[in-house]
Amino acid sequence: MNTEFIIEAAKAIQQSILANEHTLESLDRAIGDGDHYINMKRGANVIVEIEAELAPLKPSEALNKIGIKLLSTIGGASGPLLASFFISMAKVLESQAHENQGLKENGDESTLKIATAFAAGVQAIIQRGKANLGEKTMLDVLIPVSNQFVLLTTQNCDIKLICATLIHTAEQGMLATKDLIATKGRAAGLGERAIGHIDPGAKSCQLMIEAVCKLSLKELNG
């Protein structure tokens, strides 16, 4: 993973968010306050806008900048959570050497580093939001994905397989939120009425993971 990849990933995420306007908006209208799409769009747009500022940076610096930019751009519940994710991920990468080697180079160690950093990011979300698995939040996507990611990389799995698996794991986590009662976030007030609706934050995280994994697959294949 190099900075070029991060910039491409930002664009892929932006495209995916914009393409899912209706879905994201409807989900947050159903069990939230209807602004999740707008918040995510604002965030996605801003990280694409700062491309030129990101380009000269190391990956850890780029991720940190993304986190700080998201913190002052998104707002709402998703803002500080996603910001914490990127800032923590950056911290872990920064504290390790050689992080300029990317997925493209198919270095197992590098992939493990990314998985570790990802896990640290998810941990930051858990700490900030005081939520955990099964509370009908973005964590129902992020925690399984993070666990799977670390597991597969420690098992030296093929990156293509990892990507394909994570796409699947994210989707399952996202779908699973449908049958949950929310105990964190805005939907927590709804009780049983939240059942039957997918959590908007889980959906957008699933979309982002899918976008980044597909980008990796494309680059590996292309």
Partner 1 sequence: MKKFINKIDNILIESLSGFATAHSDLVTLHLDPNFLTRKNKAQNKVAVISGGGSGHEPLHAGYIGYGMLDAACPGHVFTSPTPDQMLMAAEAVHADKGILFIVKNYAGDVMNFEMAAEMLPFESATVLTSDDCAVINSTYTTGRRGVAGTVIVEKCVGSLAETGADLQTCKALGDKVNNRTASIGIALTSCTVPAAGRPTFDIGDTELEMGVGIHGEPGRRRETMREADELVRDCVDAILADFKARDLDTANNSEALLLINGFGATPLMELYLIYNTAAKLFSQHSIQISRSLVGNYTTALDMAGASVTLCLLDDEIKRHWDSPVHTAALRHER
Ligand X SMILES: Nc1ncnc2c1ncn2[C@@H]1O[C@H](COP(=O)(O)OP(=O)(O)O)[C@@H](O)[C@H]1O
List the structure tokens of 48: 């694409």
Distance CA 203, CA 188 (A): 17
Residue 69 site contact among partner 1, Mg ion, ligand X, none (CB < 5 to 8 Å, cut-off depends on kind): none
182 binds partner 1 (CB under 8 A): yes
Q: Whole-number minimum distance, CB 32 to ligand X, in Å?
A: 5
Q: Which residues 98-157 are close enough to bind partner 1 by CB under 8 A?
A: 128-130
| Complete DSSP assignment for 41-61 | HHHHHHHHHTHHHHTTS-HHH
List the structure tokens of 60: 């850890």
**Cβ atoms of residues 159 and 216 within 8 Å:** yes
Distance CA 86, CA 177 (A): 23
CA dist list (Å): 154 to 117, 157, 191, 204: 14, 8, 39, 27
65 binds partner 1 (CB under 8 A): no
Q: What is the DSSP letter of 155?
A: T
188 binds partner 1 (CB under 8 A): yes
Q: Which residues 26-45 are close enough to bind partner 1 by CB under 8 A?
A: 29, 31-35, 37-39, 42
Cβ-based nearer residue to Mg ion, 32 or 67: 32
Residues that bind ligand X (CB under 6 A): 28, 32-33, 35-36, 39, 76-78, 81, 125, 129, 131, 137-139, 184-186, 199-202
74 binds partner 1 (CB under 8 A): yes
Cβ-based nearer residue to ligand X, 113 or 186: 186
Determine which residue in the list 72, 95, 106, 154 makes contact with partner 1, applying CB under 8 A: 72
Residue/partner pairs of 24-29 with CB below 8 Å, 24 or more apart: 24/200, 24/203, 24/204, 27/197, 27/198, 27/199, 27/200, 27/203, 28/200
Residue 150 site contact among partner 1, Mg ion, ligand X, none (CB < 5 to 8 Å, cut-off depends on kind): none
Q: Whole-number minimum distance, CB 20 to Mg ion, in Å?
A: 15
Q: Which residues 61-120 are close enough to bind Mg ion by CB under 5 A?
A: 76
Q: Whole-number minimum distance, CB 134 to ligand X, in Å?
A: 12
108 C-beta neighbours (distance < 10 Å), count: 12
Which residues in this chain contact Mg ion in the complex, by CB under 5 A?
28, 32-33, 35-36, 76
